[in-house]
Amino acid sequence: MTEQLIPFLSASILLTLSPGPDIIYVLVRSLAYGYKQGVATAMGLVSGILVHTSLVAFGLSAIIKQSDSIFLIIKIFGAAYLIYLAYQVYKSDPEIAFSSEGVKNKSMIKLFKQGFIMNVLNPKVGIFFLAFFPGFLWEPEADTVSQFYILGVLFMLQALIIFSIVAVMADKISVFIKSHPSSGWFLKWMQVVIFIVIAILILL
């Protein structure tokens, strides 16, 4: 179990730190209205992970138990999808813009709801979890539902901690990135490397 959870947690932290839309939104919200609004947004985004975890857990558990070959195919699919994401990032513009224009001040409850809905209605999150989680099951023949939920809760906790730190340090992070023109290029290639490394971890 520990042999799988440690690389899973390491991969999850790397993924959360990569400059995706969620962490950028938390950063922009914090810059515009303070860290409390950023944390409220983060809590909503992270809570949505429970929905995707449930869909993956109950949708895949029965299939995984049927055949080792099916489990291998799912892992290959996951690795291939991550390689595809790496390619998409490779083709993207490395410039990252932080703008608080159009970000309206809202209550904490509304921010939580907005973050939750943003996460739940994003099909890419569900597809990503479908690709990511199965590769880190430590006992595919046993109760995979509980294993999926353990992975999901771990992913939620580390994401909430990192998002909260980003919210508190919003000003310093933004100033640093804006003052270093090469930051966008570095963050782009960091994402590419992270996706490829995790694809390899899933296969292994």
pLDDT in tens, 7-36: 899 989 988 887 777 887 788 778 777 889
Radius of gyration of the chain (CA): 17
Q: Which residues have C-beta within 8 Å of that of residue 108, sequence separation ≥ 6? A: 36, 37, 40
Residue 135 pLDDT > 60: yes
Residue 183 pLDDT > 60: yes
* Average model confidence (pLDDT) across the chain: 81
Residue 16 domain flag? no
pLDDT category, 173, cuts 50, 70, 90?
A: confident
Element (H, E) at 38: helix 35-47
Least confident of 49-53, 98-102, 155-159, 189-193: 98-102
pLDDT category, 162, cuts 50, 70, 90?
A: very high
Number of H helices, E strands in the chain: 10, 0
Query: What average pLDDT score do residues 132-147 get?
Result: 85
Residue 21 domain flag? no
Q: How far is CA 188 from CA 8, 27, 46, in A?
A: 22, 17, 23
pLDDT in tens, 88-111: 878 877 766 666 555 667 788 988
Residue 14 domain flag? no
Q: How far is CA 147 from CA 61, 101, 159, in A?
A: 10, 42, 18
Please report the pLDDT score of residue 62 as a whole number: 65
Residue 134 domain flag? yes
Residue 87 domain flag? yes
Residue 38 domain flag? yes
**pTM for the whole thing?**
0.74
Task: Give the residue carrying structure tokens 């023109």.
Answer: 181
Q: Is there a contact between 202 and 135 (Cβ–Cβ < 8 Å)?
A: yes
Residue 17 domain flag? no
Q: Which residues have C-beta within 8 Å of that of residue 154, sequence separation ≥ 6? A: 5, 8, 9, 12
Please report the pLDDT score of residue 102 as a whole number: 57
Residue 86 domain flag? yes
Least confident of 109-113, 161-165, 185-189: 185-189
| Count of other CB atoms within 10 angstroms of residue 124 | 10
Residue 51 pLDDT > 80: yes
Residue-range definition of the domain harbouring residue 126: 2-9+26-95+106-203
| Count of other CB atoms within 10 angstroms of residue 88 | 12
Maximum mean pLDDT: which of 50-59, 115-124, 172-181, 189-198: 50-59
CA–CA separation, 143 and 145 (whole Å):
6
The total number of structural domains that make up the chain: 1
